[in-house]
A and B are shown apart, each in its own frame.
Chain A
């Protein structure tokens, strides 16, 4: 049984423990992707690396943005910017459920006192042309993670299959730390000379971005940038595989995928601004999916994507 002093005491401690745990299980601990994304899945370390035949094991924190979820920092649970912890292992190991439960223990959830459940939840990302089967994991009725076996990404069958774990860090941390309002959660150690709460770090930005996302973002510019990103993605992929300067085969899957990520985020902003109608919505999602598919097609022809000439 876990002793009380084993409990983490701050948001960052939970992140540090997850990093240590997954590092100890052999994952490469990566850093967040340096672009605005809606979820940890968009990181190329997940989306692209889930494709092809090469083995892979990575864990990382990914700041994620969901403009429509902004509540000016006032809602106890909802944020337009939050953190996800993401683990992707390919091929999915047979003991992935046990490994996952170990990570919960690592962050201070006592398996002898809590009720952990795997409840059916199939995952689908229409923007990435991806789907998988799995569960949402419940701890005493609270959803603490998504657990998915990827079946398809960018329209390609995943062979081998990757196992993906996604933890919503704020929610999980609030649960473990026993905090009711996200802004009240200790960010650093409660004994630090300068104690900072989650609110000290993020209340200001939540309010600013909420106003920006809902009312101020220039829709004309966003529409234009969406078109640009879409065109640029296709332009990058239209180059011949052989680089005329070096004479090497260099397919630019990642730079093209950056543009796909951009288009996706721009779409999310436009959606938050309420300027996309129900029928247009499907069309925009379809356009981003088309880009994701082309990037996936390109990636599986690279060496990292397992291509063998």
Chain B
């Protein structure tokens, strides 16, 4: 059984594409071989900056012979049908056999394929793979028409077995396959002929190329950590950078250098980001002070001076880079210390979104909303106002222009430099959080208020201009923003009617005022909306008070349609379902709770859902649910049949049966217990109260026929079923629970 070795040797492949390209090569070639009947034992893929390699072991020497019989149209069938059959089988009329079938004479095609040698199949498959390779971006070069990620120089393709190795004859765009490769660009010369994978890997290593990216990464990490350890320091872990650097070198040589004293005062995040983004350096930390004091760079070669020239060059480049960073930092600190409003004012020239105005306008909206949220989260309103005002000031700083990924973090440094309270500084950094599902959720009240306002403003804004996420498209990360709000509310146990805040902020997006008196009026109105909703009596009262000389925009308030806020709320409910499902709460349980009033109070909603979910996992819960459903079904059928609703309350004096009387009593007792539990929002206790009904309900149905001939007794029993329905529906609409 022969082994196959393929190497595609090119100019430098972007580091970020190498690993996927090696896997694509493996998958496509092996799939192609298997499709052609060539099975194999094992395959492995490798990449370096200049090559993709594939090793396939234990390949069949040739594909097996195959014979396939296919039944075609009847003899005498329309010509078109016969033509189609010939086309699909690739045969001519003479090749077809005529056989007797149940319905008469039928054409049969017998397609026999003789096996082909591996070399022929490999040549065919590899040409096809190279021509259709899924590079994220590919190019042409010279006068050729072939596309590859960068110019492809040579193809090594050999099959080897005990007898020796053979080049697979093939040619693509003037490149003929051979059995040679090249070593390191600078540390090796000439071409290298190989006979198989082991020979290839060993000869490459002698020519200063480590074929396996994993092995290069391990070597880099091993040397880097040892070098740092010897100096009493530690390397800052960065898996992404390690993988990238391993894709930039064929022969890694780790060098450690100093960071000039001048720069040690920069925030560590700035040092780290600057070194990583621009220079692909690892940061080296002093474990005692936590400060970053050195860097590690990975060269692609050994030199006679042990890397002294390379290190000096890198150090010099770093010096220039950090001089820039220091220049930004010092300029920024100067602005921060004198007047942060210079930065926020500048944001009036920065567009957030062309339909949603400037960053400055956005900040003002966020601040207005954040202040309304202050009491909900228990934060000092003045601190919240200040925090919202400066939270995005750093977007104008020189540092953020250079390193956008440091937004928020620099904001905290600059707010501290401006002498602002630490709660305000913390909010500058934390108000972007939580960013992802595993990101920490802020808990400091000021940070929470601004974080909520930021996200709610974004969501209502995009809802107001009808730019909602659709399918997989969510360019403004609105799903993430909604999940952020959900996690902020739940983690901090916040009680608020989201609906009211939606309406208030939607109106703020819709209404533009410039006049200061009107601004004040708008603020007053929107505060009312946020507290009591857009249809609250206070809002109506103000509108009436203004009667006549009300500004034009009042009409928008009057005519405000709840649709948009409702749509946004249902978007939140969808996100919440996904979130709770991940925590093991079933979707029907959530639906049952969503049917209850106050579903825009997420904390309350989740309390209900958790209590119900837990309850349904118990036997009591499951049985009560069955009892409820039975009662509900009988009642619903009767209601439909009779066209009346039985909600007048049952009278115990018409109770005939002992179980019926017992149920009356149980219901009376339960009602009291349940309503006080509901009052206290102790839904678990409320469900417990309902569980006490399980026995009496079961016994009742056991011995009593609801639909008796006695109309009075029947009506009384239906009224009692109604009481059961009402009693059991106080936590959630159980009729929506499945099972």
A-B contact count (CB 8 A): 96
Contact of A112 among B14, B299, B303 (CB under 8 A): B303
8 Å CB contact of A133 from B16, B137, B354 = B137
Closest residue on chain A to residue B350 by CB atoms? A278
| A268 at the binding interface (Cβ < 8 Å) | no
Shortest Cβ gap from A177 to chain B (Å): 12
Q: What mask results when residues 311 to 355 of chain B are scored 1 for a CB within 8 Å of chain A, else 0? A: 011101110100100000000000000000000000001110010
B139 touching A161 by the CB < 8 A rule?
Answer: yes
Stretch at the interface among A24-32, A61-69, A86-94, A251-259: A86-94
Pick the residue among B149, B318, B320, B349 that contacts A277 (CB under 8 A).
B349
Taking CB atoms, residues of chain B closer than 8 Å to A277 are: 349
When the two chains form the complex, which single residue of B139, B186, B354 contacts A279, counting CB atoms closer than 8 Å?
Answer: B354
Quick check: is A146 within 8 A (CB to CB) of the other chain?
A: no
A141 touches B317 (CB 8 A): yes
Chain B residues within 8 Å of A94, by CB: 142, 151, 153
Residue among A116, A120, A163, A175 with the highest chain B CB neighbour number at 10 A: A120
Given contacts A113-B303, A149-B139, A149-B151, contact A140 B314 (CB under 8 A): yes
A111 CB–B CB distance under 8 Å: yes
Do A91 and B137 touch (CB < 8 A)?
no
Residue of B nearest to A135 (CB): B12
Assess whether A119 is interfacial by the CB under 8 Å rule.
yes
A215: interface (CB < 8 Å): no
**What CA separation (Å) do A113 and B320 show in the bound complex?**
21
Max chain A CB contacts within 10 Å: which of B16, B137, B142? Answer: B142
Contact assessment for B142 and A141 in the assembled complex, using a CB-CB cutoff below 8 Å: no
CA distance A92 to B142 in the complex (A): 4
Q: Is the pair B310, A160 in contact by a Cβ cutoff of 8 Å?
A: no
Give 1 or 0 for each of B434-455: 1 = CB within 8 Å of chain A CB: 0000000000000000000000
Chain B CB within 8 A of A102 CB: no
Total A residues in contact with B, Cβ cutoff 8 Å: 38
Residue B397 at the chain A interface, CB threshold 8 Å: no
Q: Which residues of chain A come closer than 8 Å to B707, judged between CB atoms?
A: none
A202 CA to B149 CA in the complex, in Å? 41
Rounded to whole angstroms, the CA-CA distance of A139 and B313 in the bound complex is: 8
Contact assessment for B12 and A278 in the assembled complex, using a CB-CB cutoff below 8 Å: no
Task: Report chain A residues within 8 Å CB of B354.
Answer: 279
- A residues 90-120 in Cβ contact with B at 8 Å: 91-94, 97, 110-120
In the assembled complex, how far is the CB of residue A161 from the closest CB belonging to chain B, in whole angstroms? 5
Q: How far is the CB of A72 from chain B (nearest CB, A)?
A: 14
CB 8 Å contact bits of B721-737 with A (1 = contact, 0 = none): 00000000000000000
A115 touches B304 (CB 8 A): no
Q: Is B566 an interface residue (CB 8 A)?
A: no
CA of A134 to CA of B137 in the docked complex: distance in angstroms?
11
In angstroms, how far is the closest chain A Cβ from the Cβ of B139? Answer: 4
Bound Cα distance A121, B299 (Å):
19
**Is A231 an interface position by the 8 A CB rule?**
no
The complex places the Cα of A141 from the Cα of B317 at a distance, in Å, of 7
Instruction: Give, as a whole number of angstroms, the nearest-CB distance from B143 to chain A.
Output: 4
Convert A1-31 into 0s and 1s, putting 1 for each residue whose CB lies closer than 8 angstroms to a CB of B.
1000000000000000000000000000000
Q: Give the contacts of A251-309 with B (CB-CB under 8 A).
A: 277-279
Q: Does B309 contact A (CB under 8 A)?
A: yes
Q: Does B531 reach chain A (CB closer than 8 Å)?
A: no
Is the pair A141, B318 in contact by a Cβ cutoff of 8 Å? Answer: yes
Cross-chain contact B310 with A140 (CB below 8 angstroms): yes
Q: A149 CA to B708 CA in the complex, in Å?
A: 90
Is residue B544 within 8 Å, beta carbon to beta carbon, of the partner chain? no
**CB <8 Å contact, A141 and B297:** yes
A278, B348: Cα distance in complex, Å: 12
**Residues in chain B near residue A161, CB distance under 8 A:** 139-143
Given A117-B300, A118-B12: A151 in contact with B248 (beta carbons within 8 A): no
Q: How far is the CB of B266 from chain A (nearest CB, A)?
A: 18
CA distance A77 to B151 in the complex (A): 33
Residue numbers in A under 8 Å from B300 (CB-CB): 115, 117
* B515 on interface, CB distance cutoff 8 Å: no
A76–B327 Cα gap in the complex (Å)?
12
Interface residues of B in 552-581 (CB under 8 A from A): none
Q: Which of B139, B142, B312 makes the CB contact (< 8 A) with A91?
A: B142
Nearest CB in chain A to that of B297: its residue: A141
Cβ of A122 within 8 Å of any chain B Cβ, yes or no, is yes
Contact B14 A132 (CB under 8 A): no
- Chain B residues near A112 (CB-CB < 8 A): 186, 303-304
Considering only residues 346-370 of chain B, those with a C-beta below 8 Å from chain A are 349-351, 354
Contact partner, A132, options B139, B149, B309, B351, Cβ 8 Å: B139
Query: B305 contacts the other chain (Cβ, under 8 Å)?
Result: yes
B565 to chain A, nearest CB (A): 30
Q: B146-160: contact bitstring with A at CB < 8 Å (1 yes, 0 no)?
A: 000111010000000
CB-defined contacts of A77 to chain B, threshold 8 Å: 320
* Distance, CA A263 to CA B591, complexed state (A): 62
B139 & A133 in contact (Cβ 8 Å cutoff)? yes
Within 8 A of B (CB), among A144-182: 149, 151, 159-161, 163, 175
User: A142 interface residue, CB < 8 Å from B?
Assistant: yes
Indicate which residue in A76, A92, A135 contacts B141 across the interface (CB closer than 8 Å): A92
Task: Indicate whether B15 reaches chain A with its CB closer than 8 angstroms.
Answer: yes
Q: Judge whether A120 and B16 touch: CB under 8 Å.
A: yes
B518 within 8 A of A: no
Residues of B within 8 A of A117 (CB): 248, 300
> Is B95's CB within 8 Å of the partner chain A?
no
CA distance A1 to B309 in the complex (A): 14
User: B351 and A113: CB pair below 8 A?
Assistant: no
Q: How distant is the Cα of A116 from the Cα of B279 in the complex, in angstroms?
A: 13
The answer to whether the Cβ of B11 comes within 8 Å of any Cβ in the partner chain is yes
User: Nearest residue in A to B281 (C-beta to C-beta)?
Assistant: A141
- B279's partner among A111, A133, A141 (CB-CB below 8 A) is A141
* Interchain CB contact under 8 A, A151 and B303: no
A contact residues around B279 at 8 Å (CB)? 141
Give the docked Cα–Cα distance between A229 and B734 (Å). 75
For residue A160, which residues in chain B have a CB less than 8 angstroms away from its CB?
Answer: 142-143
Contact assessment for A149 and B141 in the assembled complex, using a CB-CB cutoff below 8 Å: yes
A151 lies within 8 A of B11 (CB): no
- A76 touches which of B248, B310, B312, B320 (Cβ 8 Å): B320
The answer to whether B313 and A141 touch across the interface, beta carbons within 8 angstroms, is yes
Q: Find the A residue at minimum CB distance from B308.
A: A113
Tell me the nearest residue of chain A to B49, going by C-beta: A118
Chain B nearest CB, measured from A46 CB (Å): 17
Contact with A along B115-154 (1 / 0, CB 8 A): 0000000000000000000000101111100000111010
Shortest Cβ distance from residue A278 to the other chain B in the assembled complex, whole angstroms = 6
Q: Interface 1/0s, chain B 1-28, versus A by CB < 8 A?
A: 0000000000110111000000000000
Residue contact A115 to B310, C-beta cutoff 8 Å: yes
Q: In angstroms, how far is the closest chain A Cβ from the Cβ of B330? A: 15
Instruction: Name the residue of chain B whose CB is nearest to the CB of A274.
Output: B349
For the complex, what is the distance from the CA of A160 to the CA of B173, rounded to whole Å? 14
B contact residues around A141 at 8 Å (CB):
279, 297, 313-314, 317-318
Measured in the bound complex, the distance between the Cα atoms of B11 and A163 in whole Å is 13
- Taking CB as reference atom, which chain A residue is nearest B135? A133
Are A140 and B317 in contact, CB atoms less than 8 angstroms apart?
yes
A241 CB to nearest B CB, Å:
28
Within 8 Å CB of A1, what residues of B?
304
Interchain CA distance A110-B304 in the complex, whole Å: 12
Q: Identify the 8 closest CB pairs spanning chains A and B, nearest first.
A: A140-B313, A120-B14, A118-B12, A141-B314, A160-B143, A115-B299, A91-B142, A113-B309
Interface residue ranges, B against A (CB under 8 Å): 11-12, 14-16, 49, 137, 139-143, 149-151, 153, 186, 248, 279, 297, 299-301, 303-305, 309-310, 312-314, 316-318, 320, 323, 349-351, 354
13 A-B contact pairs sorted by A residue (CB < 8 Å) = A112-B303, A113-B305, A114-B309, A116-B186, A117-B248, A119-B15, A132-B139, A140-B314, A142-B313, A149-B140, A149-B150, A159-B143, A163-B141
Further 16 A-B residue pairs, CB within 8 A, beyond A94-B151, A151-B139? A91-B141, A92-B142, A111-B186, A114-B313, A115-B301, A120-B15, A132-B139, A134-B150, A140-B309, A140-B310, A140-B314, A141-B279, A141-B313, A142-B316, A149-B151, A277-B349
